[in-house]
Amino acid sequence: MSADQPLVLGIETSCDETGVGIVRGETLLVDAIASSVDEHARFGGVVPEVASRAHLEAMIPTIERATRDAGVRLADLDAVAVTSGPGLAGALMVGVAAAKSLAVALGKPLYGVNHLASHVAVDIVEHGPLPEPTLAMLVSGGHSSLLLVPDVTAEITSLGSTIDDAAGEAFDKVARVLGLPFPGGPHIDRAAREGDRVAIDFPRGLTTGRDLERHRFDFSFSGLKTAVARWVQAREAAGEPVPVADVAASFQEAVTDVLTRKAVAACKEHGVENLQIGGGVAANSRLRAMAQERCDEAGIALRVPRPGLCTDNGAMVASLGAQMVLKGRTPSDLALPADSSMPVTEVQS
């Protein structure tokens, strides 16, 4: 690690995680997180107002913890980066206001960056410089997208995305049907290990005929979710026990089959030899294994950050901020807004 590499602090508050990460160039120094997930659990989903308040309370302690654990002083920072969108409006505003205050108080440049681009950039601190172009698949509670990424600091195009539920949302809703806690992804992942993946043949959305023609690289998980709910209800109505592990494994198989099939097809069609997977669902053990198998078969190099860097965190924002500095990108205006529906093509605001 060289001291002439930019020292960047990144703030993430787009959903329920208050993340503060610090990187020096392409090296991660610290990734401090305070999550309000437990406060949302009883509602079965993230409650925006609860999340905003939790960000307010956690912001200063998390910044203090990050700088202390990294052994750096705020005055040593070269830049501050923050998620300016997309995400929950009130939650984003807390992060953007905090980042602006820091930048003004310290007299340092500010970079407002896209949450989705940050999910891609985080892999730089894990596996080194990002091959250009990279094809990225982002799968989380809020998004499911296939992105072509010629340059993560400046140019991202969307090849496809979900037309209804996000992949993580499907995990969360199916978990609810199975009586598993929120957020459901990790619970389904765990239950599925004891189950039979081919026990139930659940539908694979947008993978055949006309659907595939019109929605080549789009996803749909709402039909799958309904199919699982119907299957479980039929069992219950017949007074039979629900085989939770088999349902979890078969559902998970349907999701990961579609995701990996479309990701590999997109790589082939666009002549890209590098696939990166990010977002909370990338922590899924079956998705990771199946993606590895299919990429190996297709001669595609796969990069997936460790699970802790797949879910929302501050390191991803710091990593993208450091790339902005390294590539000489112009800092954002101090008047930059929080943009809850920021398009993925807009890497910086």
**Residue 84 binding Zn ion, by CB under 5 A:** no
**Residue 140 binding Zn ion, by CB under 5 A:** yes
**Residue 281 binding ligand KG4, by CB under 6 A:** yes
CB atoms within 10 A of CB 141: 25
In the complex, the smallest distance separating the C-beta of residue 279 from ligand KG4, rounded to whole angstroms, is: 4
The one segment of 100-108, 151-159, 182-190, 232-240 that binds ligand KG4 by CB under 6 A: 182-190
Toward ligand KG4, which CB reaches closer, 106 or 282? 282
In the complex, the smallest distance separating the C-beta of residue 336 from ligand KG4, rounded to whole angstroms, is: 21
Toward Zn ion, which CB reaches closer, 189 or 312? 312
Pairwise CA distance, residues 316 & 329, whole Å = 17
In the complex, the smallest distance separating the C-beta of residue 191 from Zn ion, rounded to whole angstroms, is: 24
CB atoms within 10 A of CB 39: 15
Residues in 237-276 that interact with ligand KG4 by CB under 6 A: none
Q: What character string, x for contact with Zn ion (CB under 5 A) and - otherwise, covers 91-130?
A: ----------------------------------------
At residue 119, what is the residue type?
H
The order of strands in the sheet holding 144-151 is 155-161, 144-151, 134-139, 274-278, 301-303
**Residue 186 binding ligand KG4, by CB under 6 A:** yes
CA distances (Å), 316 to each of 193, 208, 259, 304, in order? Answer: 29, 35, 22, 13
The one segment of 67-75, 217-225, 293-301, 307-315 that binds Zn ion by CB under 5 A: 307-315
CA dihedral 335, 125, 346, 89 (to 10 degrees): -60
The one segment of 28-36, 165-173, 268-276, 340-348 that binds ligand KG4 by CB under 6 A: 165-173
**Residue 312 binding Zn ion, by CB under 5 A:** yes
In the complex, the smallest distance separating the C-beta of residue 314 from Zn ion, rounded to whole angstroms, is: 12
In the complex, the smallest distance separating the C-beta of residue 305 from ligand KG4, rounded to whole angstroms, is: 11
**Residue 279 binding ligand KG4, by CB under 6 A:** yes
Residues in 134-153 that interact with ligand KG4 by CB under 6 A: 140-142
Toward ligand KG4, which CB reaches closer, 78 or 90? 90
State the residues that interact with ligand KG4 by CB under 6 A.
Answer: 15, 140-142, 168, 171-172, 183-186, 189, 279-281, 283-284, 311-312
Can you give the binding site for Zn ion, defined by CB under 5 A? Answer: 140, 312
